[in-house]
Amino acid sequence: MKTGDYGKLTKIEYAVMAVLLLIGMLHGGIVLRRAAHVPSMPEVHKHAAPAPALQYTLYGADLAQKTRTVLQAMDSIESSQELSAAGFQLSEDSARAIASRLDALRERGYSATFLLADWQTGRVLAYKPLSPRYSASAIKGPVVLADAAHELLNAPDDADLAAQTITISDNDAYAELVQRYGLAALADWTTNTRTSVNMDAEVGIGTAKYMWLSAADLTKMWLLGYDFLFGSADRSGEWFVQPFGSSSNSFIRDALGSDATVYSKAGWIHDDEYFTAQNDAGIVRTSSGDFVLTVLSDAYGENELLAGLVRTLAEVRAADMLGA
């Protein structure tokens, strides 16, 4: 039985996606890992500075300085699969609070990964940021943003298709946009952001409307979206921004929407034979600064559990990430 916002794939298409995933693994791209048992007090890895080999030029001169800084902070923790902090000291109380939320998911038979990237401070908090999970429709957000950034959405009905893709996660509208414009804009957008997704036109992002992504991958895509929307110019009034503020099934908005403005795109699916996912990712704008958050999970339908995790992450940000 399959439910969710994914839909309309044949058995052959599922088989093709499995082959593409295997090819990506063989080429050193995506590596699947089984989520490990979450200890009551996970080891915290602190990364104070980006890896020395990484240079600002990696990300292009057109990106805002703060965007480049937070992207580099993310790169400094990319080798870690534990609870990690870059640029700040995570307190023991905060680590325990996060562990408690992850334990609550595990006790119900679920697991989750996340990455919170604070644009204001350049600091990053993550748990298993490189573990790929099935994106479901969470990928639709970056696809629409990349198309907008590349000025592709100019047909008379593009605005309606994009709005339907984001607000109600309409699969047919999304398929039409991909049919018209492909995923070349997203591939071009992410070329220099060190995502683990194979950007070759024949593997991964070049051929699949939906894909396997890590929390780091999706967060980087949304950071590019943030830079496009708010980095060097405020595009919050543009028509393609508003749908993200009312997208359906966003547990990030459920958790934080009363105190912040959330631009997000969730993705969910429950397919006994293939995939289970409840994901959300996007931009959170608050009075204390803005951040990008991605949560990927297999906790289908457990929005309140996931919203609890999001609330705790926001509390940890306020307590630990914004200080001196």
| Confidence at residue 253, expressed as pLDDT on a 0 to 100 scale | 98
What domains are there in the chain, each with its CATH number?
Answer: 2-321 (3.40.710.10)
Where the chain has pLDDT below 50, the residues are: 1-2, 7-8, 10, 12, 14, 16, 18-41, 47-58, 198-204, 206
pLDDT of res. 233: 78
165 backbone φψ class: left, alpha, beta (φ>0; ψ -120 to 50): alpha
For 67-89, b/e burial (b = at least 16 CB within 10 A) is: bbbbbbbbbbbbebbebbbbbbe
pTM: 0.82
* Bridging pattern class, strands 124-127 and 112-118: antiparallel
Query: In angstroms, rounded to a whole number, what is the distance separating the alpha carbons of residues 143 and 80?
Result: 27
Instruction: Give the largest Cα separation in the chain, rounded.
Output: 54
pLDDT at 19: 46
Question: H or E segment at 10?
Answer: none
